[in-house]
Amino acid sequence: MRDLLMQVKSPLFDGIRPDEREAVLGCIGYRTASYRKGEMIVTEEEQLSYIGILIAGAVDMIKEDVWGNKTLLERVYQDGLFGETFACGRDARSVVTFTAAEDARILFLPFQKVMHTCGMACVFHHRLIENMVRIIADRNRKLLHKVDVISKKTLRQKILAYLSWQSEECGSKYFEVPLGRTEMAEFLCADRSALTRELARMREEGLIDYDRNCFRIL
Cβ atoms 86, 94 nearer than 8 A: yes
Evaluate if residue 21 carries a pLDDT over 70: yes
Q: What letter does residue 182 receive in the DSSP assignment? A: H
Evaluate if residue 58 carries a pLDDT over 90: yes
pLDDT digits (tens, 9 = 90+) for 157-174: 999 999 999 999 899 999
C-alpha 210/C-alpha 177 separation (Å) is 10
Identify the CATH class of 152-217.
Answer: mainly alpha
In the chain, where the domains are located:
2-148, 152-217
pLDDT digits (tens, 9 = 90+) for 2-16: 555 666 788 998 988
Q: Report the topology of domain 2-148.
A: Jelly Rolls (2.60.120)
Cβ atoms 80, 19 nearer than 8 A: no
The predicted pLDDT at position 210 comes to 95
